[in-house]
């Protein structure tokens, strides 16, 4: 009998259907439309099903990637969804906002030939397919252990901890400071990139598993961590990084100068996804500048564009150094966002009513790489110029809010206000207290926060099992 022929390598990565730029710039509907079944199956069939899949090693939440992709190629979507949710309680979210190109997809062996598998798009396909079937399949829940865990913060890290621990039989209660769950997923990411219905669907799934949710509960003010420990066996702190950074240049106190946190939160709260421009809680600006080059900066610029503004990204390095995902940069460019590269704001000037009216800037050139690995921007002497603007959004980063650490003696904090926690376990300096996500690392990605939650949940379970 002759040997079977080796599988022919298909390097044609299937594209994702999207709204046309000239259409989507005028609405808040989701830009990426998802794979139809035929295209999803074709993309899944490209997977080589490696015996030693490096993609799994690069996944922060340890998903069996070849397993769920094989299920798609076999058209067994129910099995694929089951495999996904063994490790990921937020697959529809991760499929949309996780930077797969820097993680699992970066490890795909096909990358060497320029044809890596679209893992994130396939993850999204399965999650959306299952949701479209109606009732979600519930996993097996271990018998109740009698142990209770409090989770502070309903963002990606907290949701992951809750999902893992509830399945292991522990009682879990999430305490969320705001009036809706999801953290950055709800308040920090625009509707056109992550619809709120998707976040609500994932949160409802956790509730069905038995997770209790308490909203409008500010730990550190409503109740302290020490007080919560009197009632619970363990506490996980995943309160995120909600304290915005500014550049500390003249004019930042002018009206019309916003932090990205404030701007995006207002936009998400206004229910502006229905696009009533007259109903926005932020003045209808005509010319908006966004300072920064990350994903948050792209989100702010694309929101402002949809609200009718001429929008610019002001970034002190070149396009090559932009830290945002390439997909988000390209979407912004297609929609009409203007990029002012090698430009550094040094001062904001205001009008007689206290509103910002222009930005004074310097031209920059690039020197040698700095500690970030990117080329260091150097001011060009005598290159000052102005940009007329009636709004500025500062999107240069965030650090953790100090509220919890300020009222929790014994909780070690780093110089940037981050809670100090072990990278592999999430253990903090306090007994029975774990932490993870942006409150530990500073502003990072959703999937890294989830990965930290996974490690902390494992450590918490080990501790509770020893009692």
- Res. 115 pLDDT band, cuts 50 70 90: confident
- What value does the mean pLDDT take over residues 444-462? 95
- The answer on pLDDT for 70 being more than 60 is yes
**Helix extents (H) in 46-144:** 54-57, 65-73, 77-87, 91-97, 119-132
Confidence (pLDDT) at 282: 59
- The answer on pLDDT for 5 being more than 60 is no
Which helix (H) or strand (E) element contains residue 439?
A: helix 438-441
Lowest mean pLDDT among 160-164, 216-220, 265-269, 411-415: 265-269
How far apart are the C-alpha atoms of 60 and 170, rounded to whole Å?
23
Confidence (pLDDT) at 274: 36
Confidence (pLDDT) at 272: 45
- The answer on pLDDT for 31 being more than 50 is yes
- What value does the mean pLDDT take over residues 50-60? 93
How far apart are the C-alpha atoms of 350 and 397, rounded to whole Å?
24
How far apart are the C-alpha atoms of 105 and 116, rounded to whole Å?
6
Higher pLDDT, 411 or 284: 411
Confidence (pLDDT) at 268: 83
Confidence (pLDDT) at 273: 41
Q: Facing residues of 291 across strands?
A: 314, 394
- The answer on pLDDT for 412 being more than 90 is yes
Average pLDDT, the chain: 93
Strands 287-291, 338-340: pairing kind: unpaired
Please give the share of the chain, as a percent, with pLDDT higher than 90: 87
- What value does the mean pLDDT take over residues 214-228? 96
- The answer on pLDDT for 290 being more than 60 is yes
**Helix extents (H) in 10-53:** 21-24, 37-45
Confidence (pLDDT) at 293: 97
Strands of 282-355 (E only): list them: 287-291, 310-314, 338-340, 343-350
- The answer on pLDDT for 281 being more than 70 is no
How far apart are the C-alpha atoms of 33 and 29, rounded to whole Å?
10
Higher pLDDT, 372 or 140: 140
Confidence (pLDDT) at 283: 61
Write out pLDDT tens, residues 356-382.
Answer: 999 999 999 999 998 878 899 999 999
Confidence (pLDDT) at 279: 46
- What value does the mean pLDDT take over residues 342-355? 97
- The answer on pLDDT for 170 being more than 80 is yes
- What value does the mean pLDDT take over residues 180-195? 94
Lowest mean pLDDT among 88-102, 125-139, 171-185, 269-283: 269-283
- Which residues, other chains included, contact 222 with Cβ-Cβ below 8 Å and sequence gap of 6+? none
How far apart are the C-alpha atoms of 302 and 435, rounded to whole Å?
33
Confidence (pLDDT) at 6: 56
Confidence (pLDDT) at 372: 79
- The answer on pLDDT for 81 being more than 70 is yes
Q: What is the reported pTM? A: 0.92
- What value does the mean pLDDT take over residues 250-277? 80
């Amino acid at each position: 009998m002759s040997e079977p022929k080796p599988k022919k390598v298909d390097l044609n990565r299937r594209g994702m259907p999207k709204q046309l730029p000239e259409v989507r710039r005028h609405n808040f509907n989701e830009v990426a439309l998802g794979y139809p079944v035929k295209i999803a199956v074709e993309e899944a069939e490209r997977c080589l099903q490696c015996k030693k899949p490096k993609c799994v090693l690069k996944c922060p939440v340890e998903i069996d990637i070849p397993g769920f992709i094989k299920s798609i190629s076999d058209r067994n979507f129910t099995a694929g969804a089951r495999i996904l949710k063994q490790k990921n309680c937020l697959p529809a979210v991760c499929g949309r906002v996780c930077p797969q190109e820097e993680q699992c997809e970066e490890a795909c062996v096909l990358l060497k030939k320029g044809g890596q598998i679209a893992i994130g798009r396939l993850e999204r396909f399965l999650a959306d397919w299952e949701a479209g079937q109606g009732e979600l399949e519930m996993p097996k829940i271990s018998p109740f252990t009698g142990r209770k865990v409090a989770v502070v913060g309903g963002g990606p890290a907290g949701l992951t901890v809750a999902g893992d621990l509830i399945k292991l039989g522990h009682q879990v209660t999430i305490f969320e400071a705001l009036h809706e769950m999801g953290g950055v997923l709800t308040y920090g990411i625009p509707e056109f990139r992550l619809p709120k219905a998707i976040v609500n669907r994932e949160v409802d799934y956790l509730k069905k598993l038995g997770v209790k949710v308490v909203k409008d509960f500010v730990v550190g003010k409503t109740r302290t961590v020490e007080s919560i420990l009197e009632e619970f066996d363990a506490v996980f702190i995943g309160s995120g990084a909600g304290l915005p950074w500014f550049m500390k240049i003249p004019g930042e106190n002018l009206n019309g100068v916003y932090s990205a946190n404030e701007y995006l939160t207002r936009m998400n709260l206004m229910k502006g996804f229905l696009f009533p421009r007259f109903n926005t809680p932020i003045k209808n600006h005509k010319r908006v500048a966004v300072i920064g080059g990350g994903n948050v900066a792209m989100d702010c610029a694309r929101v402002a564009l949809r609200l009718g503004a001429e929008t610019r990204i002001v970034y002190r390095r070149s396009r090559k150094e932009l830290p945002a995902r390439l997909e988000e940069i390209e979407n912004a460019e297609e929609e009409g966002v203007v990029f002012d590269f090698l430009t550094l704001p040094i001062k904001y000037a205001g009008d007689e009513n206290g509103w910002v009216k222009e930005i004074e800037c310097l031209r920059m050139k690039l020197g040698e790489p700095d500690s970030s690995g990117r080329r260091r921007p150097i001011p060009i002497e005598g290159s000052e110029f102005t940009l007329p603007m009636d709004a500025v959004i500062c999107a240069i980063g965030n650090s953790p809010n100090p509220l919890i650490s300020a009222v929790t003696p014994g909780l070690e904090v780093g110089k940037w206000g981050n809670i100090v926690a072990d990278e592999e376990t999430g253990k903090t300096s306090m007994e029975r207290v774990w932490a993870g996500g942006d409150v530990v690392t500073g502003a990072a990605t959703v999937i890294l926060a989830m990965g930290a939650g996974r490690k902390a949940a494992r450590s918490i379970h080990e501790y509770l099992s020893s009692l």
